[in-house]
Amino acid sequence: MRFDVITLFPEMVEAASRYGVTGKAIDNGVVRLKAWNPRDYTRDKHRTVDDRPYGGGPGMVMKYQPLFDAVSEAKENGFGNHAKVVYLSPQGMPITQSLLNESVHCEQLILVAGRYEGIDERFIETVCDEEWSLGDYVISGGELAALIVVDGISRLLPGVLGDENSALQDSHMDGLLDYPHFTRPENIEGRVVPEVLLSGNHADIERWRLKQALGRTWQRRPELLKNKQLSDVEYELLQEFIVELV
């Protein structure tokens, strides 16, 4: 899969993508990432990428033409009109795991990272297929959002995480928060690892973990349970968790 990021900070995006899971996916050749700077597509002496908003007001707006030409080059360099163009913005649809899961099937994802107050609306309307947001908080540009999308999709691609660590291994706990994890030592200043995890009884361990995942989700994010159909076993485990609290 190929990612192209349209950004005024190509070095930042390229540097940050060299680490961790994305870095490995790039090294393995599973992912290709290229950053394109709209400034390289300007046609004036000052290499102007932004201008004042029509109607006045604070801040600057990114100009259509340099963005358009940068996206065109990324398409020519890649899969042409098979590419999906996504504008990252607080006005976008909130990213969810399903959105990332579906996106693994794209051949080329062109991620447009904005700066300043935003980009010319006509670019969004005519060039972008979708508009995605990280969540309801404001950051100063789309670069970190692009890196999150690249990371979240890369780890789903076959061959990126080992079989063992496969991103799909959590699928039986789909829509739930994770259970608690413990590693050595057994005792840290009197805090000991739950006995069941030392028992070697794999069925009991599985039940305990599912119960913790259900219980934590109920405690911290009850709205996630509303969207989930619990099986009889899951319902019983959650009851047990709640009863044991009192």
Ligand X SMILES: CCCCCCCCNCc1ccc(CNC(=O)c2csc3nc[nH]c(=O)c23)cc1
Q: How far is CA 198 from the centre of its chain?
A: 35
Catalytic pick from 76, 117, 121, 206?
117
* CA–CA dist 211, 26 (Å, integer): 37
Active site residue 170: yes
Q: Are 83 and 75 in contact (CB under 8 A)?
A: yes
> 91 phi and psi, to 5 degrees?
-85, -5
Q: Which does 155 bind (CB under 5 to 8 A by kind): ligand X, its own copies, none?
A: its own copies
Please identify, among the stretches 33-41, 79-87, 176-184, 237-245, the one whose residues bind its own copies according to the rule CB under 8 A. 176-184
Closest CB 10 distance from ligand X, rounded Å: 16
With binding defined as CB under 8 A, does residue 27 bind its own copies? no
Q: What sign does the dihedral 239-243-245-246 (CA atoms) show?
A: positive
Tokens coding 73: 């080059």
Please identify, among the stretches 30-38, 71-79, 132-140, 229-237, the one whose residues bind its own copies according to the rule CB under 8 A. 132-140
Task: Give residue for tokens 């996206």.
Answer: 71
Residues lying near ligand X in the complex (CB under 6 A) are found at 88-90, 114, 117-118, 133-142, 145, 170, 175, 177-178, 224
* CA–CA dist 95, 84 (Å, integer): 16
Please identify, among the stretches 30-38, 58-66, 71-79, 104-112, the one whose residues bind its own copies according to the rule CB under 8 A. 58-66
Query: Hey, which residues are catalytic here?
Result: 90, 117, 155, 170
